[in-house]
Amino acid sequence: MPELRCGAHRSIAERGENLLDALHRAGQRVPFSCRAGSCQVCKVRCIEGEPIDLLPGALDAVQRREGWRLACQCRVDGDLHVEPFSPERDGQPACVEQAEWLAGEVLRLRLSTASPVRYRPGQHAALWTPSGLARRYSMASVPGEERWLEFHIDCSRPGAFASHARTLTAGDRLLVADVQGGPLAYEPEWDDQPLLLLGGGTGLAPLWSVARYALAKGQVGPIRLVHVAPDAYLREPMMALAASHPSLSVEWLDRSGLAHLLARERRMPRRTIALVCGSEGFVEACVRGLYLAGLPRNQVRAECFVSGSGTGA
């Protein structure tokens, strides 16, 4: 039977066993959330040996060359020595500057760090609690323009991290780690193309960052920002931004309004770049509607919420 080493700890694993399950069975606190390869908080670095990777495209080529694998997507195939991702080593401490409730149960979390975090609009990062809870969220702030990192957390969604987020107040400590790209990361070559930004619920967060960044950089093409949610939690800031930028239009819809919008979009400019973020059902409906509206698939970038608990073990 294969030997599994995690740091200095040794255990025995079943051949073909899920790596994350094997690590947990051995008492190793490797965090996880979605178990689908999306949240990426269960990353481990392979020091010796190589597991069977069922989702090799989940990590970029650089991370794979460095030995990183997603434990939830790997199976043990032989002796293996791994090292879990360490937010203390690979991330940096963050202090809660503001934890403010917006409409409904959306928490706006603003964090400050000792040194700037490098990121692009539309990217996301993993947030860790001191006790080891981890969850990945998109950043709603604008790099280079705001001194904090801003996240919008829907606390109505079940999960250990969301439950912890409810208790956060100014001065509390977290860790920020593992900033990554994703399909919504703003590309400079879009500056003269129309942008259609469709956000469902707190899927608005990365699109709010993209819209403000594009405007600050002098986006020539028009920007249309559509928020589909029961509670328009950024209505006033969005209206104020649109009032000062004629190239930006903002809309608020419910799900039936989204269906009507997609059904009537038959003359969308062919060069439109559409960015979509929200729940799986929301994203599927938008992507399908945009395709039927004639928008080429390679001009639609979409990202779904990660389903899961955001747990530490």
pLDDT value of residue 182: 77
pLDDT in tens, 157-193: 888 899 999 999 999 999 998 888 778 988 889 989 9
- Looking at the structure, tell me whether residues 293 and 196 fall in a common domain: yes
State the pLDDT confidence band at 41, using cuts at 50, 70 and 90.
Answer: confident
Say what the pTM is: 0.84
pLDDT value of residue 231: 86
Domain contains 312 = no
Highest mean pLDDT, choosing among 33-37, 44-48, 181-185: 44-48
- Looking at the structure, tell me whether residues 61 and 101 fall in a common domain: no
Domain contains 310 = no
Residues 161, 208 contacting (CB under 8 angstroms): no
Domain contains 283 = yes
State the pLDDT confidence band at 312, using cuts at 50, 70 and 90.
Answer: very low
Q: Which two tokens stand for residue 126?
A: 């993993």
Residues 143, 179 contacting (CB under 8 angstroms): no
Of 62, 85, 108, the residue at which a domain comes to its end is 85
pLDDT value of residue 307: 56
Domain contains 212 = yes
- Looking at the structure, tell me whether residues 61 and 132 fall in a common domain: no
Torsion, CA 208, CA 303, CA 100, CA 85, rounded to 10 = -120
State the pLDDT confidence band at 313, using cuts at 50, 70 and 90.
Answer: very low
- Looking at the structure, tell me whether residues 171 and 218 fall in a common domain: no
Whether the per-residue pLDDT at 38 is higher than 80: the answer is no
**Domain encompassing residue 204:** 188-304
Domain contains 313 = no
pLDDT value of residue 32: 81
pLDDT value of residue 212: 97
Task: Mention every residue, 6+ apart, whose C-beta is less than 8 A from residue 233.
Answer: 102, 103, 104, 106, 152, 204
- Looking at the structure, tell me whether residues 75 and 116 fall in a common domain: no
Structure-model confidence comparison of residues 301 and 8, the more confident one: 301
Residues 189, 273 contacting (CB under 8 angstroms): no
- Looking at the structure, tell me whether residues 61 and 96 fall in a common domain: no
Of 66, 85, 104, the residue at which a domain comes to its end is 85
Domain contains 126 = yes
pLDDT in tens, 217-255: 999 999 999 999 988 999 999 999 999 999 999 999 987
- CATH assignment of the domain containing 292: 3.40.50.80
pLDDT in tens, 65-104: 999 999 999 999 999 999 988 878 878 999 999 999 998 8
pLDDT value of residue 39: 76
- Looking at the structure, tell me whether residues 194 and 173 fall in a common domain: no
Where is average pLDDT lowest: 29-33, 120-124, 128-132? Answer: 29-33
Q: Within 10 A of 268 (CB to CB), how many other CB atoms are there?
A: 16
Instruction: State how many domains the chain has.
Output: 3
Q: What is the number of residues in the chain?
A: 313
- Looking at the structure, tell me whether residues 159 and 202 fall in a common domain: no
- For 45-51, what is the mean pLDDT? 95
State the pLDDT confidence band at 266, using cuts at 50, 70 and 90.
Answer: low
- For 116-127, what is the mean pLDDT? 91
- CATH assignment of the domain containing 150: 2.40.30.10
Domain contains 311 = no
